[in-house]
Structure 1
Amino acid sequence: MNTILQQSFSVSFQYPVCFTEDLFSLENPILVDVFEKGKSVKTFFVIDSGVTEAFPDLISKIKSYATNFKDLFFLCAEPLIVPGGETCKNDPDVYQQVVKATNDYGIDRHSYIVAIGGGAVLDMVGFAAAISHRGIRLVRVPTTVLSQNDSGVGVKNSINYFGKKNYLGTFTTPVAVLNDFNFLKTLDDRDWRSGIAEALKVALIKDLSFFEWLEKQALALSKREMEPMKAQIIRCAQMHMDHIAGKDPFEFGSSRPLDFGHWAAHKLEHLSRYRVRHGEAVAIGIALDSCYSHLLGWISKEDLDRVLGVIRTLGFSLYEPELSGENLIQGLREFQEHLGGKLTIMLLEKLGKGVEVHEMDENLIQSAIQLLEEENRTVKNH
């Protein structure tokens, strides 16, 4: 005889995504407002080395802030400084340093880990926090455009493994996401523009009016004007949050519409040994899949030119030599494997509306690559 007991329950997740300036000013309570009230909670900071280099007084400001609010939280150890970028996700020793700290300093499930840095550091620290004690409370402080408008607001945490991006990871919600616009001021031009690719991505597949706004503001954004950057970040973050709150926040299915342009981007990053940064690779991936959509007859040449024009005006390259050859196609197979189901790729039915397909023609992909190379060569010749 078979006995089957059916279990069913649901859990509601809530966390604030905040936008501020000068997070560690003694007059700004936004950080301590997220801590559990009624006791001084143990807190451990993990900081991207690029951030401490750009803001050499950051650690002293954190210590001063902790002293001022000592009734609400205390630092259990010196902040851990870790390398930023994909280095921290490629080297297992880095996330293991965070895990070791949880053991060394008695950081438990009622403690807090505050991660300050770009998206890669937030991914890595989030993964370490999630697997320690089955989940230590995490506060994210994104410091790049890419992490403030996209990766930092979500529920994904990961490291790279077996030479594959995000192979090990978890879906774990943060306690809060605190975005400080002041961190953006010291970004180099590549990191400044890199995150805008994610805004372009979500606009193209979901919101024509947002694409048209980006089209108008592309030059101002490329010139590092702060007000349009703030507006872009908040609008993009809201659209990502709305999607996460939808029917499949933990991606149990194979549909990942917010990964438009990403199947090629992930492989391009790896093939370039991360010389091409994530946002730069996404911009090229968007350009490639837009070319593919045009070759299918879904978007006109005029619309394709608009998409490529925005990408160029923002300062992105349209093409990298690693796009050529069979290796990129392998990225399509790896993307399907990562989804864990049938291949599901987002393409453009029209500007502002994405459509999912479950197969891609490898010959047409090669034609799209050739078209993109020609477009890039035309721009360079002019």
Structure 2
Amino acid sequence: MKRIIEQKFAVPYTYPVIFSENIFNVGDQTLADLLDNGKGGKAFFVIDSGVSDSHPELISQVKAYATAHQEKFKLCAEPLIVPGGEASKNDPQYYEKVVEATHLYGIDRHSYIVAIGGGAVLDMVGFAAAVSHRGIRLVRIPTTVLSQNDSAVGVKNGINFFGKKNYLGTFAPPFAVLNDFNFLKTLDDRDWRSGISEAIKVALIKDLDFFEWIEKNATALASREMEPMQELIVKCAQMHLDHIAGKDPFEMGSSRPLDFGHWAAHKMEHLSKYEIRHGEAVAMGIALDSTYSFLKGMLTEGELNRIISMISELGFNLYHEVLSGEMLLKGLEEFREHLGGELTIMLLSKLGKGQEVHEMDQSLVLEAVEKLKVFQSDRLIAN
């Protein structure tokens, strides 16, 4: 006897992405309300070491805030400090420490893990939360431009393994995302700039008006003016959320439009031993794929020059030595494997409009690299 019972159901996901300031002011109810499960919620904080170093008062603020709102939630342990950046994702001991904490302190599906930090730390903590008890409520408090406008608002979590970025990971929406713009004030110039590349990415493939807005405000953004940065973050976050709510939020297919510029970026990060930061690599990846689009006859020279000029004006490099050689081309094959066998790369048919292709001419990729080297040289001479 043969029988087939087909199961089909849909699960709605809802989570708020909040933009605010001074979230640990004891008079602000936002975080306390999020951590209130109606029974005195239990919360465990994991903090990026770069954030705790830049904000030495943060741990005492967290404790004072918890004391002031103890009727809504309580701290179950001292906050855990973990290294910032890719170090937190490269070494499994940090993910294991978060998982161990869920065991030691009885952190269950009715409790909360609160992650404060940059995108890498949020990725790692999110993975630990997602696999512990099949999913503990995660509240993300992103502290960089890159995490506030891109990685923290999405549904991805992961750690690096086998020398590959995000090899282990999950799709698990957060319970909430709480952005505090005040954290941006202590970023160094590289981290301030890095997150802008993700805004350039979504603008180039989806929204010409947004691209032209970034173009117009490039000098102000590079000069660390807060008002345009806040506007950029909210707009970029909204565009990412709109995309996630579309047809393929868990990326079951091979279409990855939000990975524009990323196939090369991920390889550059790895080849540089993560000396190149993600946003910096994405900026060079965007420049590379835009130049390739021009060489394929998809973009005009004028359109390419606008892209290259804006990326340069924002302070990004256009070329790094890790772009040269066959190892970069290996990134194409790794990306094909990551997508399940069919290569799908997002290129540009014009400013504000992406176009997917399923093959890349390797000789043109190398030619695009050489053009970026010239662009970078010309920029150094001009300066």
The number of equivalent residue pairs is: 382
Counterpart-to-counterpart distance in 2, 1:92 and 1:306: 42
Describe the superposition over 1:149-194 as per-residue Cα deviations: whole angstroms up to 9, x where unpaired: 0000000000000000010000001000000000000000000000
CA distance in 1, matches of 2:339, 2:61: 42
Question: Pairwise mapping of residues 274-313 of structure 1 onto structure 2 (< 5 A)?
Answer: 274-313=274-313
1:92 and 2:86 correspond: no
Deviations 1:19-69 (CA, angstroms, capped at 9, x unpaired): 000010012111122234421111000000000000000011111110111
- Residue 356 (structure 2) aligns with: 356
Number of the residue aligned with 2:337? 337
Structure 1 letter corresponding to 2:333: R
**Aligned residue number for residue 119 of structure 2:** 119
Farther off after superposition, 366-375 or 180-189: 366-375
Asked if 1 retains the 8 angstrom alpha-carbon contact of 2:35 and 2:43, the reply is: no
The code of the aligned residue for 1:226 comes to: M
Give a deviation string over 1:288-321, Cα, whole Å, max 9, x none: 0000000011111111010011100110000000
Q: Which amino acid aligns with 2:48?
A: D
Percent of pairs identical after alignment?
68
Alignment-derived partner of residue 55 in structure 2: 55
Distance 1:339 1:21 in 2: 39
Alignment correspondent of 1:378: 378
1:154 corresponds to 2:154? yes
| Residue 223 in structure 1 maps to residue 223 in structure 2 | yes
Q: Distance in 2 between matches of 1:181 and 1:341?
A: 41
Q: Which amino acid aligns with 1:254?
A: S
CA contact (8 A) 1:283 1:311 kept: yes
Alignment partner of 2:167: what SS?
strand
Query: Is 1:326 aligned to 2:326, yes or no?
Result: yes
Give the deviation of 1:380 after TM superposition.
Answer: 1.2
Contact 1:89-1:159 at 8 Å conserved across structures:
yes
Q: What stretches of structure 1 move > 6 A for 4+ residues in a row? A: none
TM-score normalized by the length of structure 2: 0.99
State the shift of 1:351 in Å.
0.2
2-structure distance, mates of 1:216, 1:159 = 37
Give the alignment's TM-score, normalised by structure 1: 0.99
**Aligned equivalents of 2:37, 2:266: Cα separation in 1:** 41
Q: Distance in 1 between matches of 2:38 and 2:48?
A: 30
Which residue of 2 is the match for residue 201 of structure 1? Answer: 201
- Check the 8 A contact 1:167/1:338 in 2, yes or no: no
Instruction: Please give the secondary structure, in 2, of the residue aligned with 1:24.
Output: coil
Answer yes or no: is the 8 Å Cα contact 1:253–1:341 preserved in 2: no
SS at match of 1:109: coil
Contact persistence 2:33–2:72 (CA under 8 A)? no
1:204-283 correspondence runs (5 A): 204-283=204-283
Q: Matched residues in 1 for 2:105 and 2:38: separation?
A: 22
Deviations 1:243-275 (A, max 9, x none): 000000000001110000000000000000001
Q: State which drifts further: 34-43 or 150-159.
A: 34-43
Root-mean-square deviation (CA, aligned residues, Å) is 0.7
Q: Equivalent residue for 1:34?
A: 34
Q: Is the counterpart of residue 133 in structure 1 residue 133 in structure 2?
A: yes
**1:127 partner letter:** F
In structure 1, C-alpha distance between the alignment counterparts of 2:336 and 2:219, rounded to whole Å: 36
Aligned equivalent of 1:172: 172
AA paired with 2:188? D
AA in 2 matched with 1:179: N
1:64 aligns with 2:64: yes
Cα distance in structure 1, aligned partners of 2:36 and 2:20: 21
